Amino acid sequence: MVSIRLSRGGSKNRPFYHVVVTDNRNSRDGAYIERLGFFNPVARGNEQRLQLDTARVEHWKKNGAQPTDRVARLIKDANKAVA
């Protein structure tokens, strides 16, 4: 099954996540099909916290990709910010 999930990057105590489309059999930080954006949970000041390509997210969801619970909340937040 294809899923939309977070792939961790960044350093110790300073996480940074890429929102990726991947086969759920791959490891968390392993190979992915497409990168859809990023999430920076510790953004400060003028740093951008969340960036998503919502058109591509909808494309993948229509083709059967299942977002994880956290990514589903991030998609919801991104759609609120656009509206």
Q: According to the model, what pLDDT value does residue 14 have?
A: 94
Torsion sign over Cα 67, 70, 71, 76: positive
| % of the chain exceeding 70 in pLDDT | 100
Residue linked to tokens 């998503």: 52
Mean of pLDDT values over 41-63: 94
Render pLDDT for 13-45 as a digit per residue (tens, 0 to 9). 999 999 999 998 988 888 999 999 999 999 999
Question: What does the block give as tokens for 38?
Answer: 């990023």
Domains in the chain and their CATH numbers?
2-82 (3.30.1320.10)
| Cα R_g (the chain), whole angstroms | 13
